[in-house]
Chain A
């Protein structure tokens, strides 16, 4: 059982949390403008990475807040925990991401990893 460091409550056992799948998948601003394929990509297609993976968790039984976890899917090691909207901490071997200015809005584009 994992020990997850809730950014609000501190370290708690996994049983208090629920899993929310891959993080940083932005909902398209205008779903109606998407083709079926683009919509299906948004809805179903996930990275399913082996190794460092950014995922969402919610502290269901505690503070009931969503947050992001950077976890290794092979070793279960948790590299970082960060609040929704906070800058992404780098994965091991990854360069720290410089804080970017919000990109200009692209109409109805699929923005994977655009941050929530």
Chain B
């Protein structure tokens, strides 16, 4: 089993691997840069946030309680839980080919009428960072991304360039957004980002 997992890890490729060098070229270090954060483990959670047993089970597995406030993210170390809906969350954690985290969650939620489902590979993460990051996204996103309306620790499901995604403000210094884009739309999103970033890249 362990050997099989190692081989799987060697063979797989991330949705934006083929354009990663172009993303680097389109980035401008002092204004805005885009990189893919490949191979994060993603687990969908459905449950009742007011059920103490559910919260406890999630906390035991991930070290984080699912946030009950709408459009917020709970972060601890490399793990995070994104609020997607009143009874729906997305766990994002480091690469976990063995599925240990999922197994732990499934075990804890087994008798609670709650669900943990492996969504790894459904979405990839693009990190857009730099003082012009917001200006880039404003070219295709209707959501107000001003820090007053969208501070660090918030996440929204919205559209950028006609593509559904979850948009998280991960940091203010430098301004950093995480775009959780469906894998099949990732190339489109990357191409759109490169085009939108052109205005801020001095070498153009």
**Chain A residues within 8 Å of B, Cβ to Cβ:** 1, 8-10, 12-13, 15-16, 59, 61-65
B residues neighboring A (CB under 8 Å): 70-71, 84-86, 88, 142-143, 156-159, 164
Distance of A62 Cα from B156 Cα, bound (Å): 7
- List 9 other contacts, CB 8 Å, given A10-B71, A59-B157, A63-B86: A8-B70, A8-B86, A9-B156, A9-B157, A12-B156, A12-B158, A61-B164, A63-B70, A63-B84
The 4 A-B residue pairs with the shortest CB-CB distance, nearest first, are: A63-B85, A62-B157, A13-B142, A61-B164
Residues from chain B with a CB closer than 8 A to the CB of A63 are: 70, 84-86, 88, 157
A9-B70 in contact (CB<8A):
yes
Residues of A within 8 A of B158 (CB): 12, 16, 61-62
Q: List the B side residues contacting A59 at CB < 8 Å.
A: 157
Contact B85 A65 (CB under 8 A): yes
B88 proximity list for chain A (CB < 8 A): 63-64
Partner of B70, one of A10, A16, A61, A64: A10
Contacts of B71 in A (CB 8 A): 9-10
Bound: A80/B49 CA distance, A: 26
Q: Out of B70, B84, B86, B143, which one reaches A13, CB within 8 Å?
A: B143
State how many angstroms separate the Cβ of B188 from the closest Cβ of chain A. 16
Q: Which of A12, A59, A63 has the most CB of B within 10 A?
A: A63
Tell me whether B85 and A8 are in contact (CB under 8 A): yes
Q: By the criterion CB–CB under 8 Å, are A15 and B142 in contact?
A: yes
The minimal Cβ–Cβ distance linking B186 to chain A, given in whole angstroms, is 17
- Whether B86 lies near A16 (C-beta < 8 A) is no
Instruction: List 22 A-B pairs, Cβ < 8 Å.
Output: A8-B70, A9-B156, A9-B157, A10-B71, A12-B142, A12-B143, A12-B156, A12-B158, A13-B142, A15-B142, A15-B159, A16-B157, A16-B158, A16-B159, A61-B164, A62-B157, A62-B158, A63-B70, A63-B88, A64-B157, A65-B85, A65-B86
Would you call A64 and B159 a contact (CB within 8 A)? no
Question: Smallest CB-CB separation from A65: which chain B residue?
Answer: B85
Q: Which residues on the A side are within 8 Å of B164 (C-beta)?
A: 61
How far apart sit A8 and B70, CA to CA, in the bound complex (Å)? 7
A15 to B163, CA, bound (A): 11
Q: How far is the CB of A84 from chain B (nearest CB, A)?
A: 12
- When C-beta atoms are compared, the residue in chain A nearest to B84 turns out to be A63
Question: B68 CB to closest chain A CB, in angstroms?
Answer: 12
Q: Could you tell me the distance between the alpha carbons of A12 and B143 in the complex, rounded to whole angstroms?
A: 7
Report the bound CA distance from A107 to B86 in whole Å. 34
CB-CB under 8 A for A61 and B85, given A9-B71, A10-B70, A13-B142: no
Closest to A62 in B: B157
